[in-house]
Amino acid sequence: MNTRREFLQKISGSAFGLTVLPTIASASCANLPGEVNEGRVLNVAILGLGGYATRVAAAMVNCKRAKLTGLISGTPEKIKAWQAKYNIPDKNCYNYENYDAIKNNPDIDAVYVITPNALHKEEVIRVAAAGKHAISEKPMTISVKDGEEMIEACKKANVKLLVGYRMHFEPHTLEIIRMRNAGEFGKITFFQGLSGFVIGDTKQWRLNPKLSGGGSMMDIGIYSVNGSRYMVGEDPIWVNAVETKNDPVKFVQGIDETIQFQMGFPSGAVASCLSTYSMNWLDRFFLDGLNGFAELHPATGYDPTTGLTHKGPLNLPNTIHQAVQMDEMAAIIFDGKKPIVPVDGEEALKDLKVIEGIYKSAQSGKTVNLQL
C-alpha cells in the first residue's frame, strides 16, 4: 500500500511545499495574563509537519497549559529536525501508518490535525478511535456529510472535537462582540467581510481539488463566513453567490478563484463578502449598527490585529493567536470551559453548511435557503 506521503506527492506534486513561516516573537505578544494560567497541561501531538504546523509549534512554546509532546509525519527527516528542536522522544514519534498506537501512549492527550483539508476526516476519526481528543485545523473537512461523520465518531469515542478557530480568542474580536452584546452599536444592520490574497505556488495542495475540496472559499473565505456569524451574532438564513474565474489554467475545475456572496440574517441584517485567491490586501471586517460601527483591519491575519469603533481605536494587547488558542483548548477539554464563541465540531459544521450553500448558489445562480 502506498504511504500517505506518496499519495500526496502523486496527486499534488508538493503537498507540503510551503514556505517556512517567520519565527514568532514572544516578548511583545505574550498570552493575556490571568486567563488560563493554572490547571492540567494538555499534551499535544501534531499530525502533519508543514508550514502552518511550524507556526503552531513555535507558538506553543509560549503556552501555559499546552505542550508539544508528539509528532506524526510521513517524512523521517522532518521528525528528526523537530525532535531536536522541541526535545520530543522517539517513543512519541509516529508515521501515518502506525499512529493508531498513540492509544497506548499516556504522553499524548490530543492530536492537532494540520494536513490538507480532504484528509481531516479520516485522520480525526482515527485519532478518536485511539481515544485521544482531536483538534482539526479549519476547515474541519470538505463536506457537511464528512463533518457529521467526524462529530459522530468523536461523540462515540467520548472525546472532544475542536477546530482551529484562533480568532475566537483574539482580544479585539472579543471586545467587539462584548460591545455588540451590550447594545453599544444598536440594531445590527450590515456586515462586510473581505478575505483574499494572491496565491503563489501552483503545485501546492490548496490548488488541488482532491486535497483542498475547493479554492479560496475553503481556505480564506471561511473567515468571512465564520466572522459574519460571530460579528452579527446570528446564523444566516439565506445566501447568494457569484463566482468569477479569470485564470482557468491556474484555477482548475473545482478550485474557485473569486466568489462574491451575500447573506441574510433573521433580524434583517445583511452581509456582503468577498473571497479570492487573486487580489491582495483583503483582510477586513466591518460591522454596522444604527448607533455605531466596528472595524477590524487586519481582521484574521497573523499580523497584529487592529480594531476601530465609533468610540475610537481599540487599544488592546496583541497576542500570539495560536498560543492563546491552545491554552484555551486545554481549559475547554480539562475544565469544561465554555468559550464566548464556540470552537467545537458543531460550530465548524455550520460554516460548512454555509459554504455548501455558497457553492450551490454560485453554480445555480439562485438564492439558497440555509438551515443551520
Catalytic residues: 138, 223
C-alpha distances in Å from residue 3, one per residue of 7, 96, 169, 218: 6, 7, 36, 26
CA distance 222 to 236: 14
CA distance 196 to 258: 9
Classify burial at 104, counting beta carbons within 10 Å of its beta carbon; exposed 0-12, middle 13-18, buried 19 or more.
exposed
Cell of 345: 465540531
Evaluate whether 224 touches 195 at the Cβ level (below 8 Å). Answer: yes
Q: What's the DSSP call for residue 192?
A: E
Evaluate whether 11 touches 46 at the Cβ level (below 8 Å). Answer: no
Query: How many helices (H) and strands (E) are present in the chain, helices listed first?
Result: 11, 15
